[in-house]
Chain A
Amino acid sequence: MTEKKWPETWQDTNPGLMIFKPASSRSYLTGGWRAQKPIWDNTKCIKCGVCYLFCPEACITEDAEGFFMADLNYCKGCGICYHECWPRAIKMVED
């Protein structure tokens, strides 16, 4: 099935503007919004996952070793992860 081109013609719009692609918002990269980004210091990280839990963007993921990092395509630089990190393993740097 060919991908519809955006902006769609009226004939291409889904009836009732229904959206059949769950989680398709991932095509919109909110990373361009931020003024600062989080950097993890894995020597301090205790792998608790609190940063992952509190990210409103769901952009923090765990790597194979159990450390965490933000997907910079989506990170808006809000700083919640930095603020909530117990061992202060995260710092915000200008981006």
Chain B
Amino acid sequence: MKGIIENFDLFAPKLVEKEEYYSSGHRACQGCGEALAIRLMAKALGKDTVVTNATGCMEVTATPYPTTAWKLPWIHVAFPNSASVGAGVESALKALRRKGKIADRDVKVVSIGGDGGSFDIGFQAISGAMERGHNMIYIVYDNEAYMNTGIQRSGGTPYGASTTTRPAGKASVGNTTWKKNMAEIMVAHRVPYVATACHSYPFDFMNKVKKARKVNGPAFIHCLAVCPTGWRTTSETCIKMGRLAVETGVFPLYEVENGKYSMTIEMPKKLRPMEDYLKPQGRFRHLTPDQVNIFRGMAMTEYNKVLERIKHSKTWSEMTS
């Protein structure tokens, strides 16, 4: 059945690419969801890849000179420009290959960044690179705040989350707006493959990475990455929190191929109660039942928008005439 990928194939981990392109010894926190997600992404991409990385947790923890955790060619330049550096690398590889100056084989450029370096300061670079149609993937690892600098709010911070720049207090609920819908913004850029993913659904995520890699043009993946340190949850529940985000409808997993939306995991008819997701997280601990309702309302609006699009969207080629 097209588009339905099992949440977990019990014995499939043994079939996953064995090579570790993101190796041990990196300095990420215990139980870091983003580190896991990047490890899985690298396995799905394989060795013919160049990675450009925005400043953030993953860049700082992986490459303190003189050691690097990466087993792929990798470059970091600055905070807002992973996508534009990626565009430059993509153009260079294209030109050099065409002129016969490098090996004649496909090397994919993958630009990664956190929600900080993608939703906010890096937004312009992504918008430009995706709009120009470069043959590259952009993957945003969204842990819902500027975690590397100490948990400040970002455009990916959901309603009610307490961050250091929008903390919960006597006069404030914390963050007052919902997450920026980057996937929808990318579909509006006419990116042929857009998907949301989470490390807690590793095969769904890795298959999406593989699909994005096959696109001869831009592709965008929004991957939710649980940050136990910033979300104030236990390190061992990292994977579970990602599952709860999906099962409560807060972060549905879907893909958009040439404009046509489809859910990629089977969602239960009745979503899990929002409290299951919010209660274990210290950053939501201050929410009153009314505020939880506001959170639920915002999350459900976005979820229902996705369901609507799944029902009614057509591929762009179907809409040409």
Alpha-carbon gap, A57 to B238, bound state (A): 14
Q: Residue B14 at the A interface, CB < 8 A? A: yes
User: B11 — which chain A residues lie within 8 A by C-beta?
Assistant: 48-49
Q: Closest CB-CB distance, A74 to chain B, in whole Å?
A: 4
**Cβ distance A64 to chain B, nearest Cβ, rounded Å:** 14
Of the candidates B30, B65, B234, the one having the most CB atoms from chain A within 10 angstroms of its own CB is B30
Contact, CB under 8 Å: B239 / A84? yes
* The residue from B27, B63, B70 contacting A30, defined by CB atoms under 8 A apart: B27
Kindly state the interface size class of chain A when it binds its partner.
35 or more
Chain B residues, Cβ within 8 Å of A2: none
CB interface residues, B 1-45, toward A, < 8 Å: 8, 10-14, 16, 20, 22-28, 30-33, 35-36, 39-40
Asked if A34 is at the interface (CB within 8 A of a chain B CB), the reply is yes
- In the complex, per-residue mask of A1-14: 1 if CB is within 8 Å of any chain B CB, else 0: 00010101000011
Contact A25 B24 (CB under 8 A): yes
Establish whether residues A27 and B67, one from each chain, have CB atoms under 8 Å apart when the complex forms. Answer: yes
Main secondary structure of the interface of A (DSSP, over half): loop
Partner of A56, one of B8, B16, B36, B63: B36
- Whether A56 contacts B65 in the complex (CB less than 8 A), given A25-B24, A28-B27, A30-B25, comes out as no
Instruction: Check B314 for interface membership: any CB of A closer than 8 A.
Output: no
> Chain A residues near B33 (CB, 8 Å)?
56
Q: Is the CB of B235 within 8 A of A26?
A: no
A55 part of interface (Cβ distance < 8 Å): yes
Kindly state the separation between the CA atoms of A48 and B202 in the bound complex, as whole angstroms.
Answer: 14
For residue B240, CB closer than 8 A to chain A, the reply is: yes
Cα distance A29–B26 when bound, in Å? 9
Q: From residue A24, how far is it (CB to closest CB) to chain B in Å?
A: 4
- In the complex formed, the residue of B with least CB distance to A52 is B13
The CA-CA distance from A25 to B237 in the complex, in Å, is: 26
Chain A, Cβ-Cβ closest to B72 = A22
Given contacts A34-B30, A48-B10, A49-B14, whether A79 and B235 have CB atoms under 8 Å apart is: yes
Complex-state Cα separation, A34 to B242, whole angstroms: 23
A83 touches B67 (CB 8 A): no
Complex partner residue of B24 from A4, A57, A80, CB under 8 angstroms: A57
Q: Are B28 and A25 in contact (CB under 8 A)?
A: no
B66 A77 Cβ-Cβ under 8 A? no
- Residues of A with C-beta under 8 A to B237: 83
User: Which residues in A have some Cβ–Cβ distance to B below 8 Å?
Assistant: 4, 6, 8, 13-14, 17, 19, 21-30, 33-34, 47-50, 52-59, 62, 71, 73-74, 76-80, 82-84, 86, 92
Which residues does B use to contact A, with CB under 8 Å? Answer: 8, 10-14, 16, 20, 22-28, 30-33, 35-36, 39-40, 62-63, 65-72, 202, 228, 234-240
Q: List 21 A-B contacts (CB under 8 A).
A: A8-B66, A23-B69, A25-B23, A25-B62, A26-B23, A26-B67, A47-B14, A48-B11, A52-B13, A53-B16, A56-B28, A56-B33, A56-B36, A56-B39, A62-B14, A71-B24, A74-B24, A78-B228, A78-B238, A80-B235, A84-B239
Known contacts A25-B67, A48-B11, A58-B20, then 13 further A-B pairs from the complex at CB < 8 Å, ordered by chain A residue: A8-B66, A13-B65, A19-B65, A25-B25, A29-B25, A54-B36, A56-B31, A62-B14, A78-B30, A78-B32, A78-B235, A80-B31, A86-B10
